[in-house]
């Protein structure tokens, strides 16, 4: 009976870790789509889009660096998530400022 409980706990932890990693990738994909949509609609200038995309790439590299040792700890995940949240706000601010692409 103890073995079944232990396996259940291990499986739950593994699945939740996989889901969290997926949510980071989903958020990165959504943010990149928002940047592209902003360029198409004229809400973002090319310079703004380049800067936002560069920030996305930096975060992806940081995530890859954290995962390179085979572990992606809660602290590392929190740092990546913090960066994504900041980028999300930056995308919103840039899309809603008064600059227009000509």
Q: What is the pTM of this model?
A: 0.74
pLDDT tens-digit profile of 35-71?
999 999 999 999 999 999 999 999 999 999 999 999 9
Residue 12 has pLDDT above 90, yes or no: no
Least confident range of 20-29, 56-65, 76-85? 20-29
DSSP string covering 4-64: HHHHHHHHHHHHHHHHHHHHHHHHHHHHHHHHHHHHHHTSS-HHHHHHHHHHHHHHHHHHH
Residue 29 has pLDDT above 50, yes or no: yes
pLDDT tens-digit profile of 52-61?
999 999 999 9
């Amino acid at each position: 009976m103890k073995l079944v409980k232990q396996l259940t706990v291990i499986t739950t932890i593994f699945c939740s870790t996989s889901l969290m990693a997926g949510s980071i990738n989903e958020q990165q994909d959504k943010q990149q789509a928002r940047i592209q949509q902003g360029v198409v609609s004229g809400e973002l200038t090319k310079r703004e889009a380049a800067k936002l995309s560069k920030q996305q790439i930096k975060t992806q590299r940081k995530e890859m660096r954290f995962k390179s040792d085979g572990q992606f700890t809660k602290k590392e995940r929190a740092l990546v998530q913090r960066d994504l949240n900041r980028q999300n706000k930056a995308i919103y601010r840039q899309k809603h400022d008064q600059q227009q692409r000509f």
